[in-house]
Amino acid sequence: MGPDFSFEAALIADGVSGVAGVDEAGRGPLSGPVVAAAVVLNPSDIPDGLNDSKKLTAKKREALFDEICARTKFCIAEASVEEIDALNIYHASHLAMCRAVAGIEGVGHVLVDGNRVPADLAHPSTPLVKGDARSQSIAAASILAKVTRDRIMSALAQQYPAYNWGKNMGYPTKEHISALEQHGVTPHHRRSYKPVHNILCR
């Protein structure tokens, strides 16, 4: 069973318009921004195959990315490496979520992936644990966030090929850690993360 539209439908039945799902991608990597997306689905035109982005192939995510962009109201936002280091990843991911929601007009309620809603979110909101596997709006947001972040890391990989970000997407794989040891820290690494911090402190 994949996600459905039941949470959104219940809010719409209560008279709420503009139900947005929001999710982020990129909490765990050592490098690159954290990316969030917010999506308001059209109840009469929901793309087929929406699911938690982690359960989809890269090819399926790319195809759904285009469908979601063509058939929904959406916004994609990010928090930079500098903001992650200044705020911590928890608050930076919430900042990216708030930016994504703020980029859509007419949002009446937000379904947030996770167990807490961002403190600065200026809309009525509901947290949904594992929301990307339960709500189609959050699933759509997870796809936009994941594909966008993967594209960012693939582009950065062209500038820094030694780290193979096009494959590991900045996550702390053995290969990535080895490249950090050998080539050092780039401007795109999160200095507050322990493996990066430890290298800088030597």
Spatial separation of the C-alpha atoms in residues 176 and 24, rounded to whole Å: 22
What single-letter amino acid sits at 144?
L
Residue 1 has pLDDT above 90, yes or no: no
* Model pLDDT for residues 43-73, shown as the tens digit of each residue: 999 999 999 999 999 999 999 999 999 999 9
Instruction: Write the pLDDT tens digit of every residue in 71-85.
Output: 999 999 999 999 999
Structure tokens at 197: 């911090």
133 neighbors 54 (Cβ within 8 angstroms): no
Order the strands of the 73-79 sheet from edge to edge.
Answer: 73-79, 34-40, 19-25, 109-113, 125-128
pLDDT for 202 equals 77
Q: Is the pLDDT of residue 174 over 90?
A: yes
pLDDT, averaged across the chain = 96
Distance between CA 65 and CA 46 in Å, rounded? 13
Nearest one of 163, 196, 177 to 81, comparing CA atoms: 196
Secondary structure (3-state) at 74: strand
